[in-house]
Amino acid sequence: MRIIGMFLAAFLLFVALGAHADDVILKPFVLASKSESTVAEKSAQVKKDLIAAGFVVVGEYAPYPEADLIIITNDEMQKNAAASEFGGYGVAQRVSVTQAGKTTQVSYTNPVYMANVYRMKGDLSSVANSLAGVLGTIEEFGARGMTAKQARKYHYMMGMEYFDEPSILAEYESYEEAIKAVDTKLSDNKNGISKVYRVDITGKQESVFGVAMKGSGESKYMDDQFIMKEIDFREIKSTSHLPYEVLVSGNKVYALYARFRIAISFPDLSMMGSNSFMHIMKTPEAIRNALQATVKK
């Protein structure tokens, strides 16, 4: 009886631990540090520290004067992307340095959250631990949060897109033709769309491009700065939402539809009212049209 009791206790502990893991609340971003350094000073230090820790800086982007983004990858992210369907979306993480009042904030995308919303094979917890060790961690932020299970089937609301419902922007004869064309077209900076970075997935016909989006007048709705001024209004800044991605997988060119791509960074944003999705209602189609016009065959 004693042995049976021991096995029962062990089983209940296993179930409890499993339930606890399933109930962990994930949020889109991690606030790493606050300081009185300038954005330039802090960005230089952050890049140096990331490189020393084995991360590869694949691109950098200043969407507006008070912000800088550093895009990174490493071997663990590459392996996970190669093992995951459309894993290119999660092959890089984004680190932001943002001036907010008198304070400079360093934040980054939460690798575990992103791995789950992108339905990747692994949860990138080792990458999360590495970033916390290099950059620090004060708190996760950006939403009330959701469990890994909820993140893997996330959409903003009924009738809106899931992860597996992206826009197909173009189709070419082969991956080689597609990747060459997209790289060239993004480098030409047409329609306000330009290349920030490119990461090729090792051992797979898949590549992801980060893109900067600039627009004015009627095209302002796809402009990075316009969008962020409307929805990134809280004290802790979600600059690491940027930049947007274009994915070449096989011979097709994809982009996550904005009602999903924006919502995973701002899942708690109200549909109506001040600083709501209502203010960027034209943005999803504006982004899709600009990207499609840029990479079309």
- The CATH number that applies at residue 289 is 3.30.310.70
Q: Is residue 20 included in any domain, yes or no?
A: no
pLDDT at residue 273 in the model = 84
Model confidence at 89, pLDDT cuts 50, 70, 90, reads very high
- Domain span including residue 216: 26-295
User: Is 154 among the domain residues?
Assistant: yes
Tell me, yes or no, whether 12 lies in a domain.
no
Report the pLDDT value the prediction gives residue 242, as an integer from 0 to 100.
Answer: 98
Dihedral through CA 78, CA 184, CA 240, CA 73, nearest 10? 20
Between 50 and 275, residue with greater pLDDT: 50
What average pLDDT does this structure show over 59-73?
97
Residue 1 lies in a domain: no
Q: Which two tokens stand for residue 35?
A: 């300081």
**pLDDT above 90 as % of the chain:** 88
Instruction: Tell me phi and psi for residue 294, to 5 degrees.
Output: -80, -40
155: buried, middle or exposed (CB in 10 Å: 19+, 13-18, 0-12)?
middle
Total of domains in the chain: 1
Residue 205 lies in a domain: yes
pLDDT of residue 23: 84
Residue with tokens 């919502």: 263
pLDDT tens figures, 135-185? 999 999 999 999 999 999 999 999 999 999 999 999 999 999 999 999 999
* High-pLDDT (> 70) share of the chain, %: 93
Residue 5: the pLDDT is: 47
Q: pLDDT tens digits, residue range 262-296?
A: 999 999 999 988 888 889 999 999 999 999 999 99
Task: Say if residue 239's pLDDT is above 80.
Answer: yes
As a whole number, mean pLDDT of residues 115-131 equals 98
- CA separation (Å) from 229 to 96, 103, 291? 16, 18, 21
Q: pLDDT band for 11, please (50, 70, 90 cuts).
A: very low
Question: Given a cut of 90, is residue 13 above it in pLDDT?
Answer: no
- Cβ count near 98 (within 10 Å): 23
| Higher pLDDT among residues 84 and 13, named by residue | 84
For residues 263 and 11, give the distance between their C-alpha atoms in angstroms, rounded to a whole number.
39
**Any domain includes 2:** no
Domain assignment of residue 15, yes or no = no
Whether 7 is in a domain gets the answer no
CA distances from 141 to 35, 137, 186 (A): 18, 11, 32
How crowded is the C-beta side of 199, counted as CA atoms within 13 Å? 27
Stretch 37-49: mean pLDDT: 98
What CA–CA distance (Å, rounded) separates 186 from 287? 14
